[in-house]
Amino acid sequence: MAFKTLDDMDLAGKVVLTRVDVNVPVEDGRVTDTTRIERVAPTIRDLRDAGAKVVLLAHFGRPKGKVVPEMSLRQIVPAMSDVLGVEVGFADGKYGEAVSAMVAGDVLLFENLRFNPGEEADDAGFAQRLASVGDIYCNDAFSAAHRAHASTHALAKLLPACAGRSMEAELKALEAALGSPKPPVAAVVGGAKVSTKLDLLGNLVERVQHLIIGGGMANTFLAAQGINVAKSLCEHDLLDTAREIAAKAEAAGCAILLPRDVVVAEEFRADPPTRTLKVEDVPEGWMILDAGPDSVAHIETVLDGCATLVWNGPLGAFEMTPFDAATTAAARHAAKRTAAGDLISVAGGGDTVSALRHAGVADDFTYISTAGGAFLEWMEGKTLPGVAALEA
C-alpha cells in the first residue's frame, strides 16, 4: 500500500496531532513499563527536530465514554517526560486554549480520548473538534489501527495524514511478510485452539507455500487424519473444519506441516515424566505437550528452503519446561538464518513475543510486532480502518 510518512510532510511550525499507543501498565499511579512510550519516542523526537508542535492523542483502558479518574493519562506524564527528555504538557479540556500556548518543539498530551463517547463511536463531530486544533495528522499506533475510532479513522480524513516511524516500520514489515513477500514463504501458526484462528488459517493457505501448525491446534489436525491424540487438548467438533482447511491448502499448493513426533506426559505441569513418541503411538491417558526433535528437524529443513517467515503462536506449551524445547529450537534456527541474511522473519502476537523472548531471540528477527489484535487481523487478510485511512 502507498502511504505518506513524516518525510513527506512540511512540519515546521505545524500542530501535528499524533495518535500514539501509551496504554502502559500502571501501579499506584506510577508507570511500571515504558516500552510503549519508547516505541513512539522516535516519532516525537523527529517531529520536534522538524520544528513541529506535537499534540499526542491516546487512550488508556476502557472507560466506556465516561470520566474514570483511575484511567486518566495525567498519571503517565512523568514517565513520558523522562523517556523523551522534555517536559510534556497535559490538557484535560479546552483543546484550543492549550494548543495556542504551544511553541515549536513543545509536546502536549490530551486526556484519555475514551472519556468522550465520540471516540469509540468514530463520531465525526468529535473528530472535527480534534481536527480544529491541528494542521497535520500522524498515526503512530498500529496496535489501535484495527479499530475504526475517531482518532484512528475519522480524524485521518480531515487533515493531511501520514504514518509515524513505528507505524511506518510495522507496515513495511508486514508488507514484506505477507503483502509482497519474497517466496518461498513459510508461516508458523501455533496456539491452543483452531477455533480462534480459522480466518488466519484460511487466509494463509492461499498466501504461503508452507504452513507449519503447532501447539494444541495441531492435535485437531492430527485427529482429523484419524490419529488418536488420547487425552491431548483437541477440538473434536472441528475435525471437518480441519479437513476443509487441509483440502483448501492442497488446492492452493500450500504444504501443511504437522508434528511427526511429539513429547507427551500424563499430566500438565512443569517437568513431569515424559516420553517422545511418533504421533501414531500416543498412549491412552497421555497428552501431547510439545513437538519432538524429528518434527523440529523437519521444520528447520523447510525454513532452510524459505526466504520469508511469518510466525504467530508457539509450537508447544512453552511456558513450562521441558515443553519449550521445540519452540525455542525452531525460533533460534530462524534467528540464525535471519542473522545470515537468508530469511526475512516477522512475528507477532502476545504468546509469540513471550516465546521468542524466552528463546532469547526477540531482537534477532527482522521485525517483531507487539500489536496483538491488529497484527492478527492483518494476518487474517482483513482491512484495518486506521491503516486504510492513511492510504495516499
Q: Is 129 annotated as a binding residue?
A: no
Helix (H/G/I), strand (E/B), else coil: 32: coil
61 annotated to bind ligand? yes
- The reply to whether 203 sits in an annotated binding site is no
Q: Does the annotation flag 21 for ligand binding? A: yes
Helix or strand run (H / E) with residue 248: helix 239-252
Give me the long-range contacts of 376-379 (CB less than 8 A, separation at least 24): 376/200, 376/312, 376/348, 376/349, 377/146, 378/146, 378/174, 378/178, 379/178, 379/200, 379/203, 379/204, 379/310, 379/312, 379/348
Whether 33 has a binding-site annotation, put simply, is no
What's the CA gap between 33 and 164, in Å, rounded?
21
Catalytic residue among 65, 105, 373, 381: 373
Q: Is 219 annotated as a binding residue?
A: no
Angle at 16 between CA 127 and CA 53, to 5 degrees: 130
Annotated ligand binding at 348? The verdict is no
On whether 381 is known to bind a ligand per the annotation, the reply is no
Helix (H) or strand (E) holding 344: strand 344-348
What's the gap between Cα 289 and its chain centre?
Answer: 25
* HSE-up of residue 149 (Cα within 13 Å, Cβ side): 25
Q: Would the annotation count 120 as a binding residue?
A: no
**375 in a labelled binding site:** no
Is 350 one of the catalytic residues?
A: yes
182 marked as part of a ligand binding site: no
22 marked ligand binding residue? yes
The reply to whether 118 belongs to the active site is no
193 flagged as catalytic: yes
SS3 of 291-319: the string is ECHHHHHHHHHHHHCCCEEEEECCCCCCC
Alpha carbons 189 and 380: distance in angstroms, whole number:
12
96 known member of a binding site: no
- What residues pair up with 262 in beta bridges, in sequence order? 277, 291
Q: Is 38 annotated as a binding residue?
A: no
Residue 216 annotated as binding site:
no
* 30 in a known ligand binding site: no
C-alpha cell at 229: 491424540
Select which of 4, 74, 172, 193 is catalytic: 193
* Length of the chain (residues): 392
Angular region, 360: left φ>0, alpha ψ -120 to 50, beta rest? left
Q: Is 53 a catalytic residue?
A: no
Beta bridge partners of residue 347, listed in sequence order: 311, 368
3-class SS at 62? coil
Distances (CA, A) of 101 to 15, 19, 154, 317: 11, 20, 26, 54
105, 202, 350, 381: the catalytic one is 350
Pick the catalytic residue: 14, 36, 53, 165?
A: 36
CA 84/CA 354 separation, integer angstroms: 26
* Cα–Cα distance, 238 to 230 (Å, whole number): 16
- Which residues are annotated as part of the binding site for ATP? 197, 319, 349-352
Give the residue numbers of the binding site for (2R)-3-phosphoglycerate: 36, 114, 147
- Residues making up the binding site for substrate: 21-23, 36, 59-62, 114, 147
Residues annotated within a binding site: 21-23, 36, 59-62, 114, 147, 197, 319, 349-352
Catalytic residues: 36, 193, 350, 373
